[in-house]
Amino acid sequence: MQGPNRSPAAPAPGADARPPAIEFVGIDKRFGATHANRDIHLTIEAGSIHGLVGENGAGKSTLMSILYGFYRADRGDIRVNGRTVDIRSSAQAIAVGIGMVHQQFMLVDTMTVLENVLLGAEGSFMLAPAEKRARAVLARLAADYDLEVDADAIVGSLSVGEQQRVEILKTLYRGAEILILDEPTAVLTPAEVEHLFRILRRLQGEGKTVVVITHKLKEIKAVTDEVSVMRKGEIVATFPTRDTSVEALAEAMVGRRVLLEVEKGPSVPGAVELAVEHLTLKDRRGVVVVDDVSLEVRAGEIVGIAGVAGNGQSELMEVIAGIRHASSGRIRLGATDITTLDPSEIRDLGLAHIPEDRHRMGLVLAFTAEENLMLGHQDDPRWASGLLLDTGALRHTAEAEFAEFDVRPPDPALRTALFSGGNQQKIILAREIGEAPKALIVGQPTRGVDIGAIEAIHRRLIALRDAGRAILLVSAELDEIRSLADRILCMCQGRITGECRPDASEAEIGLMMAGLTGGTAMEARS
């Protein structure tokens, strides 16, 4: 792959002597302990379509929120069209010609398209003249950019693709020269994606600059001139799109890291413990997020699911754990059909679940550590047999488990929020595997966990496997999957796109993670 390249890439085709549309110079931003943006240097040429890729949490949205005035950078400058600007609000961002189309549309569903476009840009006390003006402008924009939408339609009645066009119209109506689109294709059908790309190219043709934030690499390939990759708050590479490949981008996104050596013997797979058959999940808007997934996990093996975050892995885990219910398909645990059971029934049948987001789902941070040890096990007869909880028994169990799992400090009465990430994860681990479940689903077991704890957690998972348990592991860390899993499944856009052994090359896995296999990959590479 191409080496990381921090310097601005060659000007995009057709760029003239115009100054760069946007320059980030040494942008740095922290949220408490999280370093969301580290010393970002990035140049976006005027009149180009620039892709910004990276996994969830890589810092893309933070960077764009700084540009749009939602956050203030701790350090660094932003230059727009060569001039240093100090953007403190979205109004100022609009004033310098920046328009943003958010992932969650900022539209009033009950108003018409025209009213939405006017909102905040009425320009006069009476609405009628503004509406007349806007109607004319909309008609012209629609013709110029292929952005046709019925100006009098109620926004709530429009399709998602049309709503997105309204968002783009809003920014153009306010005179945006630089458009930022945050995950624009996340909710679009393939035909709508095509239409969007047509619009973006028309915009570029009129000299406008477009920034597309996404984690879908195929689309980056299809529409951008240049692409920058972010990882852990840093820009790790910027490539001209035509000189790069989807695999190279996938690799840059996931990153090469020191492979943590995990000692493990060969697996001895037994009977199928967890079986997923033709599982499909549609979200509330009807978008398919898990698409006809079938997989099996046998006793005594770890099956890893690799994939760029946001491709349906999280939803798959939630469906298996009973937190969401499948639209179609079946899930079996041992001989029992668990497709329609609720989380506590599934847990009682012996499926443990370490959720990928411990703060949002796995823990109640305001609780004490021992209370979190009880979460999901609040019916356990060890402490819930009587009218009142047996706090003595809980304390006793907590002390034993915390010693066993090396939770530091081993204080069951301490508020969970005060533990480090690694120790919080150990509390969850003690809770979920302390009781020796039949099968375990694990999401991002070592996210935000220090090296020492990573090793301990990995050893626990291997020990559990060797004890004959079935483990399904989802992780965004490819290295983690390769070192732990006995089989790897790759997931992309809700589908299982391939299976391989853990010693497969990174390039091969990267290809499958990008949803490209065989012939299609060769096309994209050319």
Partner 1 sequence: MSAPNRELPALVDWVLVPLANLAVAFLVSGLVVLAIGENPLEAVAIMLRGALGYPEGIGFTLYYATGFVFTGLSVAVAFHAGLFNIGSEGQATLGGLGVALVCLTFDGAPWWLVAPFALAAAALFGAAWAFVPAWLQARRGSHIVITTIMFNYLAATLMVWLLVEVLAEPGSMSPETKTFEPATRLPFLREFLMPFGVDLGQSPLNPMVFVALLAAVFVWLLVWRTKFGFEMRTVGQNPTAAVYAGIDPGSVVIVAMLVSGALSGLMAVNEVMGVQHRLLLEFVAGAGFVGIAVALMGRSHPVGVVLSAALFGILYQGGAELSFEKPSISRDMIVVIQALVILFAGALEHMFRPAFARLFARTETGSPRP
Residue located via tokens 């089989």: 487
Answer for which of 347, 465, 469, 482 binds partner 1 (CB under 8 A) is 347
Contact status: 361 vs partner 1 (CB under 8 A):
yes
Q: Assign 295 to helix, strand or coil.
A: strand
* Shortest Cβ 194–partner 1 spacing (Å): 36
Q: For partner 1, give the closer residue by CB, 159 or 385.
A: 385
* Shortest Cβ 408–partner 1 spacing (Å): 17
Answer for which of 367, 411, 420, 504 binds partner 1 (CB under 8 A) is 367
| Helix/strand/coil (H/E/C) assignment for every residue in 94-125 | HHCCEEEECCCCCCCCCCEHHHHHHCCCCCCC
Q: Which stretch binds partner 1 (CB under 8 A): 37-45, 101-109, 292-300, 344-352?
A: 344-352
Q: For partner 1, give the closer residue by CB, 239 or 419.
A: 419
320 to 339, contacts with partner 1 by CB under 8 A?
321-323
C-alpha span between 452 and 435 (Å, rounded): 23
* Shortest Cβ 320–partner 1 spacing (Å): 13
Answer for which of 76, 334, 376, 502 binds partner 1 (CB under 8 A) is 376
Q: For partner 1, give the closer residue by CB, 136 or 366.
A: 366
Judge residue 381's burial from the number of C-beta atoms within 10 Å of its C-beta, 0-12 exposed, 13-18 middle, 19 or more buried. Answer: exposed
Residue 363: closest CA among 453, 316, 271, 430: 430
Query: Distances in Å between the alpha carbon of 331 and those of 325, 340, 513?
Result: 11, 9, 24
Q: Which stretch binds partner 1 (CB under 8 A): 135-143, 248-256, 370-378, 496-504?
A: 370-378
* Shortest Cβ 323–partner 1 spacing (Å): 6
395 to 454, contacts with partner 1 by CB under 8 A?
415, 417-418
Q: For partner 1, give the closer residue by CB, 63 or 374.
A: 374
Contact criterion met (CB below 8 Å) for 510 and 244: no
Contact status: 345 vs partner 1 (CB under 8 A):
yes
Q: Which stretch binds partner 1 (CB under 8 A): 85-93, 258-266, 368-376, 518-526?
A: 368-376
Residue located via tokens 């749009």: 68
Instruction: Read off the DSSP letter of residue 497.
Output: E
Answer for which of 252, 299, 374, 454 binds partner 1 (CB under 8 A) is 374
Cis peptide before 410 (omega within 30 of 0): no
486 to 515, contacts with partner 1 by CB under 8 A?
none
Phi, psi of 241 (to 5 degrees): -60, -40
* Shortest Cβ 422–partner 1 spacing (Å): 19
Q: Assign 54 to helix, strand or coil.
A: coil
C-alpha span between 409 and 62 (Å, rounded): 33
What tokens appear for 322 in the block?
């009973």
Contact status: 154 vs partner 1 (CB under 8 A):
no
Could you give the angle at the alpha carbon of 372 between the alpha carbons of 366 and 375, nearest 5°? 120
* Shortest Cβ 384–partner 1 spacing (Å): 5
C-alpha span between 14 and 18 (Å, rounded): 11
Q: For partner 1, give the closer residue by CB, 212 or 351.
A: 351
Print burial letters for 219-229: b (CB count within 10 Å at least 16), e (below 16): bbbebbbbbbb
Label residue 493 left, alpha or beta by phi (over 0 means left) and psi (-120 to 50 means alpha): left
Q: For partner 1, give the closer residue by CB, 259 or 366.
A: 366
Answer for which of 236, 375, 393, 507 binds partner 1 (CB under 8 A) is 375
* Shortest Cβ 417–partner 1 spacing (Å): 8
* Shortest Cβ 379–partner 1 spacing (Å): 7
**For helices 127-145 and 160-173, angle between their N-to-C axes, nearest 10 degrees:** 110
Phi, psi of 44 (to 5 degrees): -115, 115
Contact status: 281 vs partner 1 (CB under 8 A):
no
Q: Assign 234 to helix, strand or coil.
A: strand
* Shortest Cβ 433–partner 1 spacing (Å): 16
C-alpha span between 316 and 517 (Å, rounded): 22
Q: For partner 1, give the closer residue by CB, 227 or 317.
A: 317
Q: For partner 1, give the closer residue by CB, 15 or 323.
A: 323
C-alpha span between 439 and 471 (Å, rounded): 6
Pairing status of strand 272-282 against strand 234-240: unpaired
Contact status: 467 vs partner 1 (CB under 8 A):
no
* Shortest Cβ 289–partner 1 spacing (Å): 17
- The site string for partner 1 over 15-34 (x = CB under 8 A, - otherwise) reads ----------------xx--
The amino acid occupying position 283 is D
Q: For partner 1, give the closer residue by CB, 400 or 417.
A: 417
Q: For partner 1, give the closer residue by CB, 210 or 326.
A: 326
Count of residues in the chain? 526
* Shortest Cβ 374–partner 1 spacing (Å): 7
* Shortest Cβ 210–partner 1 spacing (Å): 32
Contact status: 379 vs partner 1 (CB under 8 A):
yes
380 to 399, contacts with partner 1 by CB under 8 A?
384, 387-389, 391
205 to 264, contacts with partner 1 by CB under 8 A?
none
Residue located via tokens 């809770």: 431
Query: Distances in Å between the alpha carbon of 324 and those of 260, 308, 331, 335, 373?
Result: 33, 21, 12, 21, 23
Number of residues forming the site for partner 1 (CB under 8 A):
34
Which residues form the interface with partner 1 (CB under 8 A)? 31-32, 321-323, 342-345, 347, 353, 355, 360-367, 371, 374-376, 378-379, 384, 387-389, 391, 415, 417-418
